[in-house]
Amino acid sequence: MAWARWYLVAAASLFGGGQPSNFKAQQLRYARVRDAYSVAIPVWQTRLAAAHLAWGRTEVLLRAFKNEQQLEVWARQAGTQQTFCLVHQYPFCTTSGGLGPKRQQGDRQIPEGFYHIQHFNPASNFHLSLGINYPNASDRQLATGPDPGNAIYIHGNCVTIGCIPLGDEGISELYPLCVEARQAGQAQIPVHIFPARGDWQALAAEQPASTQAFWTHLRPGYLWFEQHRRPARVRVGTDGHYRFD
């Protein structure tokens, strides 16, 4: 498509009033990121328009549900306090571990809790990848061994030992959307990872007491977003459990 080729040639000057941040300019140096943009632009223009949002001018929030093996993409107008709206869902390509938080290196668990994207990797071994800030303060305090593990990503391909793989097609759509959110001024893109949607009571009965206690403190943050469509302000108590303001 001619317009897509033109975009890729002009990408370095098309955003940020003709003066892109060093971050986005560096991302676009990688061919796989440029290729991902050519895929993502028409897809997200359609999805966002349906929610009365515009490509390149949105904030993003991600929610993952381990039981359903789905990643939700929420968006709102950048620089506002508007509520987020659901714009897409991606299935996990595969999964590892089970329900319950990640507590040590090698347990194969996908973490549970409140995180944000801290690393964009355009040269990933798994096509493209978005690293979350695991372990956070809660994970470090509640770890069951000296090493809680690290390097948890949302990525391409279809393998995992604690990450969330979306396949190459899924991450090729999601990665540019997150780059654009960062470009639009969103310093932190939230990533909320929960055991399941809805009521977790039946699932909790099958979990050890430590996981039940953790979920009791995790759930208010889930319910807040369900009610308000905005994330609660999260802090970690001295006991390692989440608190919400």
As beta bridge partners, residue 153 has 131
pLDDT single digits (tens) 59-114: 999 999 999 999 999 999 998 889 999 999 999 999 999 999 999 999 999 999 99
- Catalytic site residue from 88, 93, 127, 155: 155
Q: Of these residues, 127, 163, 192, 217, which one is catalytic?
A: 163
- Residue tagged 């991600």 (tokens): 62
Domain residue spans of the chain: 2-229
Give the model confidence (pLDDT) of 120-152 as tens digits: 999 999 999 999 999 999 999 999 989 999 999
Helical packing angle, 167-183 and 31-50, nearest 10°: 80
Q: What is the CATH number of domain 2-229?
A: 2.40.440.10
Give every CB contact of residue 69 below 8 A, 6+ residues apart in sequence.
91, 92, 95
Asked if 163 is an active-site residue, the reply is yes
Tell me whether residue 120 is exposed, middle or buried, using C-beta atoms within 10 angstroms of its C-beta: 0 to 12, 13 to 18, 19 or more.
buried
Say if CB 138 and CB 113 are below 8 A apart: yes
Residue 223 has pLDDT above 60, yes or no: yes
Residue 88 annotated to the active site: no
